[in-house]
Amino acid sequence: MKTLDQKVAIITGGGSGIGKAISLLYSSEGAKIVVSDIDEKGGQETIAEIIAKGGEAIFVKADTSKPEDNKNVVEKAVEKFGRLDIAVNNAGIGGPLAPTGEYPIDGWDKTIAINLSGVFYGMRYQIPAMLKSGGGSIVNVASILGKVGTPNSPAYVASKHGVIGLTETAALEYAQQNIRINSIGPGYIMTPLLKSLDDATMKALVGLHPLGRLGTSEEVAELALWLNSDKASFVTGAYYNVDGGYLAR
Ligand code: NAD
């Protein structure tokens, strides 16, 4: 039997990078996948890859910063597959780069709305559906920048610190009802999220990871798989790094 046999999983931001790798890995482990993303093309490509490999998947277009879109994703998941067992709240943006004293207000609002409120809205609707399914498991994608600061990313850093606290709170609330809720903190991972960074910045980032390179989306997906599987049955309210040693420095 595969690790996630017959489980129904929502992956937000599943049209690219880490969310795509998680969608593909979970499908290869037997899960039925609901990919949500604001980017229709990316989301459709992910489900096409899954279906081509013999898996089951649907795409639901959604802006994670809108509560009603998150509600719709859960409704579509239950409508299609009958239940909800797993969610990965992964959709996120980097946000503008500027010091706090000059930070664009609209950039702050947008980054918090997607990266932090989006995770809350996701869980707000996923949890009731999981309760009806008898339990479940949620992984929220935070960041190493949910544990430490970095200059010029106040909104991103605040949003990811918020995701870790929100995860701990929800884990306490639902531990007795068989829902485990954890967060993960990737180091810098080679995905389109980093596409705006120049070569010098990329080189400097590599130097911050003791393993001497950036990570891959597949390496992050392996941690998310373990946390959402029964192998992590005694793990809830936890935060795990997958960061090449970044936070150990
Ligand atoms: P990515 O840009 O490759 O993928 C992000 C996905 O989220 C995209 O498909 C995008 O369309 C989607 N998205 C963006 N805004 C959305 C919205 N409002 N509603 C729905 N979907 C939306 O980036 P990634 O690197 O795969 O990032 C995934 C998660 O991992 C993010 O939460 C990010 O903060 C986190 N993370 C990334 C890194 C890294 O170095 N790449 C490091 C730590 C944490």
Mean pLDDT (the chain) is 98
Comparing CA positions, the residue from 235, 67, 113 lying closest to residue 167 is 235
| Any domain includes 247 | no
Q: pLDDT tens digits for 64-86?
A: 999 999 999 999 999 999 999 99
Question: What is the distance in A from the centroid of ligand 1 to the CA of 91?
Answer: 5
b/e map 195-212, b = 16+ CB within 10 Å: eeeeeeeeeeeeebbeee
Question: What is the distance in A from the centroid of ligand 1 to the CA of 92?
Answer: 4
| Any domain includes 230 | yes
pTM equals 0.98
Q: Cβ(233)–Cβ(194) under 8 Å?
A: no
Comparing CA positions, the residue from 230, 125, 124 lying closest to residue 169 is 124
CATH of the domain at 34: 3.40.50.720
Confidence of residue 197 (pLDDT cuts 50, 70, 90): confident
| Any domain includes 12 | yes
Kindly state the average pLDDT of the residues 91-119.
98
pLDDT of residue 196: 82
Confidence of residue 94 (pLDDT cuts 50, 70, 90): very high
Active-site entry in 26, 156, 188, 246:
156
156 given a catalytic annotation:
yes
User: Could you tell me the residue range of the domain that residue 35 belongs to?
Assistant: 8-241
Q: pLDDT tens digits for 222-235?
A: 999 999 999 999 99
b/e map 33-63, b = 16+ CB within 10 Å: bbbbbbeeebbebbbeebeeeebbbbbbbbb
Count the domains in the chain.
1
Longest dimension (CA), the chain: 54
Cβ 139 under 6 angstroms from ligand 1? no
